[in-house]
Structure 1
Amino acid sequence: MKILKYTPVFKERCIEIFESNMPKFFAAAELQLFIEFLDRDVDDNYFVVEKDGAIVACGGIFLDKDTDEGGLAWGMVHVSQHKTGIGKMLTEYRLNLLKEVYPGKVYKVDTSQYTAGFYLKRGFKTIEVIPDGFARGIDKYVMKIEQGP
């Protein structure tokens, strides 16, 4: 497996990965937001995972200038590759990158009830739960982890 910087050549495959996670992990209404993100906000901080020549996951990092917090953005693994360790590998890569690029910050992730446990295992704490925060049946879990200096 290799982690590569995102380029527009990966856009369609990232959209397929997103769609493979609908409707349980992502709501249909979020698809347009994800496409706009890929078109405008990836900078140098979005990545894909290549396994056996296929793109199977994607995810990035960001810095929220308003709160001065770093975070994990739009992380996802193709549903056919869930529970294979790819998500763990990509998340660890992104957390290490956050520590390198934005050291000493609080890091956050907005996720759902379906993946909150995954982030709890990585040291995140639930700050807030917003019922139906992403869509009907998909609660929004605001989670943070403090990294210190």
Structure 2
Amino acid sequence: MKLTIRPYLPTDYKAVLAAFHTNVPEYFPASEEAWLRSCLDEPDGPLFVVLEGEDIVGFGGYEISEFYNLGTLVFGLVRADRHGTGIGRALLHYRLLHMAALTLRPRYVTVDTHPHTAGFFLRCGFEEIARWPGGYRSGRDRVDLRFELSDDAVEKLRTA
């Protein structure tokens, strides 16, 4: 089925929370729901949903630093029953290309994640820049990664 990525709308709220819940506790601790709700209620940057037909199967966004030449990915999630289908990669590429189209394109895009999902980002061209045992308040380990949003990287994303 064809995927569509569009801006998040307030009417997507319940479906995004439902997609999040399919990933608890394996990929997100339940405690991160409060942060997700805050992100949906008062976003610090653009947010997007991935639709498969009429169903929301993915969600994510990004923020741009006002002070640094840096973008940060927030909440890249795919409904658990759709993991491994390319939806996460499509959403990631969409967000990176969206940032690349900004007048002030960030030089780097960062993301922090858990060790069991860091491999996804490494396969997508990110590099690990830090690893923090117990780095999240939940006690889970944290991995920081970065992607250089160069002209060559953008061209590769466009042709992928």
In the alignment, structure 2 segments of 5+ residues that lack a partner are 152-160
TM-score (norm 1): 0.91
Deviation at 1:142, TM superposition (A): 0.7
Percent identity of paired positions between Structure 1 and Structure 2: 31
Which structure's residues are more often strand, by fraction? Answer: 1
Residue of structure 1 in register with 2:69 after alignment: 68
For residues 147 and 5 of structure 1, the distance between their equivalents in structure 2, rounded to whole angstroms, comes to: 22
Deviation at 1:114, TM superposition (A): 1.4
| Larger CA deviation: 61-70 vs 117-126 | 61-70
Q: Which runs of 4+ in 1 moved over 4 A?
A: none
Residue of structure 1 in register with 2:100 after alignment: 99
Shift of the 78–141 alpha-carbon distance from structure 1 to 2, 3 Å rule, reads same
Residue of structure 2 in register with 1:113 after alignment: 115
Residue of structure 2 in register with 1:127 after alignment: 129
Residue of structure 2 in register with 1:2 after alignment: 4
TM-score (norm 2): 0.85
For residues 147 and 7 of structure 2, the distance between their equivalents in structure 1, rounded to whole angstroms, comes to: 25
Q: Deviations over 1:105-143 (max 9, x none)?
A: 11101111111011001111111111122323x321111
Pick the aligned partner of 1:141 from 138, 143, 154.
143
Shift of the 72–52 alpha-carbon distance from structure 1 to 2, 3 Å rule, reads same
Residue of structure 2 in register with 1:49 after alignment: 50
Q: Deviations over 1:60-85 (max 9, x none)?
A: 12102243311211110000100011
In the alignment, structure 1 segments of 5+ residues that lack a partner are none
Deviation at 1:104, TM superposition (A): 4.6
Q: What RMSD over aligned residues (CA atoms) do the two structures have, in Å?
A: 1.5
